[in-house]
Structure 1
Amino acid sequence: MPVDRPTSGGPAEREIERTGRRYAVLVRTVVLLLAASLTVFVAPFERSAPVVAVLAVWSAFYWPRATRVLAADTAVIAAVCLGARWIDPAVLAHDSTSWVVVAVSITVVCHQWLCAPVPGAVLTVVLVAAYLTGTAIADPARWPDLLPLCLWILAEAALSRGLRVLVVRAGRAVDLASAGAASTRRATEIAAARRADEREHLAAMHDTVAATMLAIGTGMVTGREPWLADRAARDLRVLSGRLDVPDGRLDLTELVGELARQSRVSVDFDSPGPVPVPAVPAIALCRSAGEALENVARHAGVTTARISLSHTDDVVRLEVADTGRGFDPAAVHPHRRGLSESIVDRMARAGGSAAVVAAPGRGTRVQLEWRAHG
């Protein structure tokens, strides 16, 4: 007997199918045994007891393998209908109080959850025909009176099938909605990752080639400085993606010290000693400080700056300060990327933060902070 076992569908649809089958088997078994047990009160014990015993044994066999023995289960219930005359004609009462009617009804209803529509319809017709035949054998004159009851049994089977279809469709709709939400979420994450890559690339452009070319173009350097070739080579490595982020921790004091030595302004670096920091935030802190030093060289109108590094157990603070002309942060054009992307956004992507404290004529302080989590 073909069984409706969906090989596709989402998790909600599959779970509904599994739950429906499980409850169909449970209800069919419990109701059948309870209904059959009632026959011992209305029929001679020596004839009713064997029927109850056989159905109990069959139910124990049926329970763990229901979907594989639907045809045999139908045959068992059909045999009960056909042999009802020898149990007791009273069990074929011409209304819905007969336990045989209950057995047929619950079986055809539950079969709709255990097999495909066509096999379910065939099994239903077989059981209804067996019930009518058993009634005709027991009471040839009155079996036509049971036709309306048989039509109701067919309607019960159709309603059960319709309920299953509706419930499964609801589960399918949930799966489609979940899949759509997951697709949207993936698209959003991909777009966010692309924007982050673009921002990082623009920040790298601003920190490297743009800064070097601006220094040359504005006459800040003559092109003969000994550090210029090394900086140009570093810029090319950054843009080609060959500056890989190492694993483990880096000494932020060493990184910032090297940055101070390569700076175009004189740097007074104050550090408490080695400050080990995970590689990603360490590089973000160092590059943000480097951009702050570039801003001092370009805009502050001074040739010196001060870097202060401090840390506690879980917080690292790095400040780049100058006593130059300063500026009004609120007046910075949004298209200027030095502060927004090279410093603020970079620190945010590394799990840190950046703040710029400045005022015209009062210098500038760029405050960088990274806090360890967990």
Structure 2
Amino acid sequence: MAVVAALFGAVAPVSMRWLAPMLLVHVVWTALFVRVFLRKQPLANWLVAGDVAITIALCLAQVNLVATEVLVTGSSWVAGLVTMTVVMAGVTWRPITAVPVGLAVAGAFAVGVGLASPSQSVLSTLGVHLVQLLAIVLLMTLLRRSAASADTFLRESARAEISLMVERLRREDELRQVGSIHETSLHTLTMVGFGTYDEPSRTLRAQVATDLSALDKLRDHPHTASVPIALDALLDEVAERATGLDVRRRLTPETVPGDVAERFARAVTEALANIALHAGVHEAELSSGRRDGEILVEIADAGQGFDQHRLPPDRFGVRGSILDTMRSLPNGGAQISSGDRGTRISLWWRP
């Protein structure tokens, strides 16, 4: 829109020698924004910083780019770009950066107008830009706080859901154990009742001892976190609930303590959520198995990678829900490898 307005308003004293190259640079930078939009990528700092630099240059060169009639009204195409640049800065950066940048852009616009028309007052236009800056900074501050609260709520909800899944699988395992013990004990008592053993039997004694030991164990540890559950069944359910992803699974049957399974499930849930939100793909792979005595779970995608060392502070999921969750587990760990060809997250635990 700025380019079209600039071309239609290209009357004296506008210089095409200035206008053409400046608009070309602006069009190229706009194409980079379109590329980001089509790929659903977050705005990169360098992209917004370049936009700021281009807008400041356009502001300072208004004497050669904007007709005097439009300059006087304060409705030039450069003024529109100032508004968009201030908004972009506020959306991308925290107030500590966005405010100085916004003031610099607004100041450059005022200086450019002063150079082009020294008698022209820019106080009203400058005031509009300052109000825009204040509004976008306040809006983004509220949105970021709301997003942080929502993220916390969703993390707690995910943890509660995983805990319920783990508890359900644990109860199913306990019921299977109870059913198995019941059938075995009942079989032993039935044989005794029918007189199968009419004299002391070493086999009967061993079977009764086994049944009593199993019953004692079930009585003494009915609901401990160490009760084993099927990790493959839990991960299969986690993958099934992943939103917006087709998760291909290669899961090896494995039984682990309940608290270990819960850590794996939390990390896998967060990893799949990150893929759906940030990787730009709709497919992922989830595998589990044994490696050098360790239980290994891997999540992989072919999307756009990221640098985990340059993640913003509000991206708690990777650090807290994946790395810290697994590394705080005794004999557990996690590693992330990411690049242009995708991301692979490895989670492990040694029994």
Normalising by the residue count of structure 1, what TM-score does the alignment of the two structures yield? 0.45
Structure with higher RCO (Cα < 8 A, 6+ apart): 1
